[in-house]
Chains A and B, each alone.
Chain A
Amino acid sequence: MADPAIRFERVTKSFGPVRAVDAVSFDLPRGALVTLLGPSGCGKTTTLRLIAGLELPSEGRIEIEGRDVTRLAAAERRIAMVFQSYALFPHMTVLENVAYGLSVNGARRAAAEAEARAMLASLGLEGFEARLPAELSGGQQQRVAVARALVLRPKVLLFDEPLSNLDARLRRRVREDIRDLQRRLGLSVVYVTHDQQEALAVSDLVIVMRDGRIAQMGRPTELYEDPADSFVADFMGEANVIAGEVLAAEGGRARLRVGGVEVESAMRAHPPGPATLAVRPEAVTLAEAGGVPGRVVRAAFLGQTREYEVETAAGMLFVIAPASARAFAEGAAVGCRLERVIPLRG
């Protein structure tokens, strides 16, 4: 039982000359919610479809709970998937939609419908059984899609951008519902999104993809606080990427030279020498002086926060400061103190 929920061994999927997924390997633990994150075209959806069996790999090997499924069709993999468009069958009622998977797997009609009814009830969809999907709201449709997937008790549940068709207010609630459900039932879930906030909020593990390869894989905090390269740094929330030189770094503190000025900041250990550094906008504090000197080019008040663009010798810095901190006007000379700096590998 030590087998991971999903194992990819050097899986490649080519569409003609394009390698949508390029020699990707990973192990996904059971009972975890794993997010595939990346910009469009990065291969995350293809990866999901490879897990589902909707695409078969050109090379490599895929296992689900220790079973080789590389050549297995989707229908035989015991997974379930919630689609971006929900893919509810428009000619079937809600009940028929949810009972569909059970009945194609050989359940008797009455048993399948009873189970479907129970599942709908547990998702708060009582009374909607006889409706057609077109007669439901977006959020209700989404829950029917989840019910339809869960009723099959799949080994792995896949979500393909399940929130993208919902309005902003609903999104947060639904994503938390999904997280609760996953925790409660101990499901292994793979979740595709291009929204890093969504990914950070719900995931046990995040895989950031870029050009068909894994850019970085880790817990949300790891990715945010210790991105491997400027792509991940930038994708996991905004980051100022600047060139600098590490003078000394040990014990969580470092002395750096940035924009010709020597500064001190929190930073993990790193050998001395030139380095590419990432600084989160909220990890910069502005003061009248000290740190890297610069000039405010643009200032904006956003209610809870203020945003600045500051021109420095190291380049333009994007800074987010709490509204409670001191405000600077455009044109003001400031000093930027770097609270926390991330040295990038790439």
Chain B
Amino acid sequence: MGALSLARAALVCAALGLLIPPWYGPDSGFTTWPAGEAAPLVLLLARGEAWWLWPLPLILLACAPALLGRRAEGRMLVACGAAAIAWVFLQGWAIGLPGTVWSIAAPFVGADATQPALGWGATALLTGAAGLLAAGLAARGRFGGDAFVAFLVTGSAALLILFVFAPLLTILSAAAIEDGKIAPGALVGRFAAPEAWSLACVTGSLGCGVVWNTLALATLTGVLSTLLGLAFALLAARAKLHLGGAFRALAILPLITPPFVVSLSLIVLFGRTGMVTEALSALLGIPRSRWIYGLPGVLLAQLLAFTPIAYLLLEGAVRQIAPSLEEAASTMGARRFTVFRTVTWPLLRPGLAAAFLLGFVESLSDFGNPLVLGGDFDVLATRIFFAIAGARHDPGRAAALALLLLGLTLGAFALQTAWLGRRRYVTVTGKGDAGVPTPLPRGLAIACGAVAFPWMAFTAIVYAIIMLGAFVHDIGRGDMTFTWRHYVTAFEVEWFQGLVFRGAAWDSLFTTIEVAAISAPLTAGLGILLAWLLARQSFPGRRTLEFMAMLSFAIPGTVVGVSYIMAFNVPPLELTGTGLILVICFVFRNLPVGVRGGIAALAQIDRSLDEASATMGGGAVATLRRVILPLLRPAIIAALAYSFVHAMTAVSAVIFLVSARHNLATVYIVGRVEAGEIALAIAYSSVLILIMLAVVLGIDKLVGRAQIGRRAPAGAMQPAPVPVTA
């Protein structure tokens, strides 16, 4: 796209924003449009209101003549776009709903000038201004002179700053604020607090600091889930067992399970009056204890949840090890076990590191399982939540703990880079490798089986309990009379002058599906576009953009939720209480996975394909639409599935953001758990699991069909080609 056409489109967009939709986002919505408080900016100005917004139409007018005269003057477009954006935000901060916020503006507008939050008109104007800015930069030769790329970079950078970076700054600045003032002393005190760093558990019977707890749990979860995942991966890839279906089911189920549910099932099994505990006590006289509450229980629940991820990662890693390397070792006389120890294992290192890191990070940010099973064992995620939502509301302390959690996560990433950075482990060269994978050494196969099969059975039992619990009176108390009543409570439907959804769960279920279905395509789209920008375009600030896109991966959900409610409750940006804030929260939380998936998939696509398209006259838009996106289809679909599922199972981030009209299934389930209605919680969860299962399996089928037609290389068998007879 040329800079001129982008600039014109942007100008039209901005002008429409001035002329048609309501400038402000009043609560009456469009009802009074185009008069009243829902008036567009032109009418407001004509009525003599909000006169401090006059510069905006003037700025647009300033750059119009040049554009009508078919000239895209880079410098002026940049100035206009930047000025419009800056003015919208500056006046928005300076003049708020309660009155003039910045005293510096008071002499000009009066102390009691008020205005509500920005609405659709302002949104359109800002979009247009970003377009003008981008067109200007492109006209000046930035971003390879491509206006489309310029617009994507400007737009996504703006979105990331607004919805990832700014909220984070808001909450983190709270760590250094006490009683409304900046207090470095308080910051130091909060960081060094004994609640975080106490080592009392080493010396006595007291609990340790929450940082140590978190680290211990995350390390154990990381190591054990990696080892379990490895056992499964080796069996799946190298032992001649046909378990594909069972393994896939095992891998998918925990990914689509809402939080708490595994924990609830573990209590039913291993609580002091749990089924297994009772049986052991009755048969073997093993005294009943409460071991499940605390580190062991949380660890068990997290292993159930995260082992499948490790398995998926490691299975890929095992399959990618070129058999010829192992064959090379065997031809040099190494025995099977030696081959495994000296060749296979070292080549697995990057996979192992990735699996460990994922388990570690997931454990750090897990909130649901420690909440239900933690007992006295506190981790950072729950401590942060209760520092904000508990009886002692202390956002400063929460922010300091959040910084510690962020530090742990970033530290883990840094360690991984340090460990892997020194060597290269590329074994996939693009050349076909015709070798046959070495089977596992016998001893190892038996060991893997001995670990993996009991674990599989255990997982199956845990899920069986969930399914069973939904259909009996009270599985927690052992009341196993069959009943539908939990489903009736949750999903009752009545025919009363049309279909009426009476059940208690319908509202939250509909909202959840709607929010998930809207945020998933947005996440996938933005993620893939960003991946394409990061992998294929070079522009100044690329590393920064990548960092911002990946940042939300490291921020625990609780922190995101609170930061959103702090950052987006007041004009100029007021989103709390809407469904939009849920969508935005999900989009930017799940974005890193889409970006990563996209980058990985793009790495498989030779750059020369883009370049070929470019030399044939395909601009960035055509190349993206006709070449890159079709080839990225599996990655897009994976991102879609991931963000849909995560939008349906997330809880920690959105527990603060749900509102009267937009409640979510998981938050509703948390409420049920809190009220001790475990059966209803389980019943609702089972429905969610089924919905997500249907979605994921459907998507899996689609991906299966989306494989590029890379049939057998027929050409290799054909005779030398006919000479060019042109």
Report which A residues bind B (CB closer than 8 A): 52-54, 56, 71-81, 83-85, 87-91, 100-101, 104-105, 122-124, 132, 134-141, 143, 146, 148-149, 152, 158, 169-170, 173-174, 177, 180-181, 184
Find chain B residues with CB under 8 A from A138 CB: 715
Contact in complex: B724, A134 (CB < 8 Å): no
With beta carbons under 8 angstroms apart, the residue of B614, B616, B617, B709 that contacts A91 is B709
Residue in contact with A177 in the complex, picked from B145, B622, B631, B724, CB distance below 8 Å: B724
How far apart are the CA atoms of A211 and B606 in the complex, in Å? 27
Cα–Cα, bound, A86→B401 (Å): 54
A157 CB → nearest B CB, Å:
10
Q: Select the residue from A83, A91, A101, A180 with max chain B CB neighbours within 10 A.
A: A91
Q: Which residue of B lies closest to A52 (CB)?
A: B615
Cα separation A136 to B715 with both chains bound (whole Å): 4
Given A100-B626, A140-B721, A143-B724, A56 contacting B619 (CB threshold 8 A): no
Interface set, chain B 591-626, CB cutoff 8 A to A:
606, 608-609, 611-620, 622, 626
Are A184's CB and B710's CB within 8 A?
A: no
Knowing A100-B616, A104-B617, A143-B724, say if A87 contacts B715 (CB, 8 Å).
no
A124, B723: Cα distance in complex, Å: 8
B144 contacts A56, C-beta separation under 8 Å:
yes
Q: How far is it, in angstroms, between the C-alpha of A180 and the C-alpha of B725 when the chains are bound?
A: 10
B46 at interface by CB-CB < 8 Å: no
List, in ascending order, chain B residues with CB within 8 A of A170's CB. Answer: 720-721
B716 interfacial contact with A, CB 8 Å: yes
Whole-angstrom distance between the Cβ of A74 and the nearest chain B Cβ? 4
Kindly report which residue of chain B lies nearest to residue A106, judged by CB atoms: B617
Q: Is the CB of B724 within 8 A of A79?
A: no
Shortest CB-to-CB span from B142 to chain A, Å, is: 10
Q: Check A100 against B618 for contact (C-beta < 8 Å).
A: yes
Which residues between 480 and 534 of chain B lie within 8 Å of chain A, taking CB atoms? none
Interface centre among B616, B716, B723 (most CB of A within 10 A): B616
Minimum C-beta distance from A70 to chain B (A)? 9
Contact (Cβ within 8 A) B722 A75: no
Q: Are B718 and A152 in contact (CB under 8 A)?
A: no
**What band does the interface of chain B fall in when counting residues whose beta carbon is under 8 Å from A?**
35 or more
Report which of A54, A56, A80 forms a contact with B616, defined as CB distance below 8 A.
A80
A80 vs B630: C-alpha distance when bound (angstroms): 23
Q: Write the chain A residue with the least CB distance to B609.
A: A87
Closest to A178 in B: B724
Q: B612's contact among A83, A132, A169, by CB below 8 Å, is which?
A: A83
**Closest CB of chain A to B675's CB: distance in Å?**
53
Given contacts A170-B720, A181-B724, contact A56 B141 (CB under 8 A): yes
Closest B residue, CB atoms, query A97: B612
Indicate with 1 or 0, residue by residue over B692-726, a CB within 8 angstroms of chain A CB atoms: 00000000000000001111011110101111111
Contact B718 A53 (CB under 8 A): no
The answer to whether A105 touches B724 (Cβ under 8 A) is: no
Q: Report yes or no: B611 in contact with A81, Cβ–Cβ below 8 A.
A: yes
**B616:A104 contact, CB within 8 angstroms:** yes
Q: Which residues of B contact A88 (CB under 8 A)?
A: 612
Cβ B724 vs Cβ A123 within 8 A: yes
Chain A nearest CB, measured from B622 CB (Å):
4
- Given A104-B613, A152-B616; 19 other pairs, CB 8 A cutoff: A52-B611, A73-B145, A73-B146, A83-B611, A85-B606, A89-B612, A89-B613, A90-B709, A100-B613, A101-B616, A104-B626, A134-B710, A134-B715, A135-B713, A136-B714, A137-B721, A140-B718, A143-B724, A173-B723
Chain B minimum-CB-distance residue to A56: B144
B145:A134 contact, CB within 8 angstroms:
no
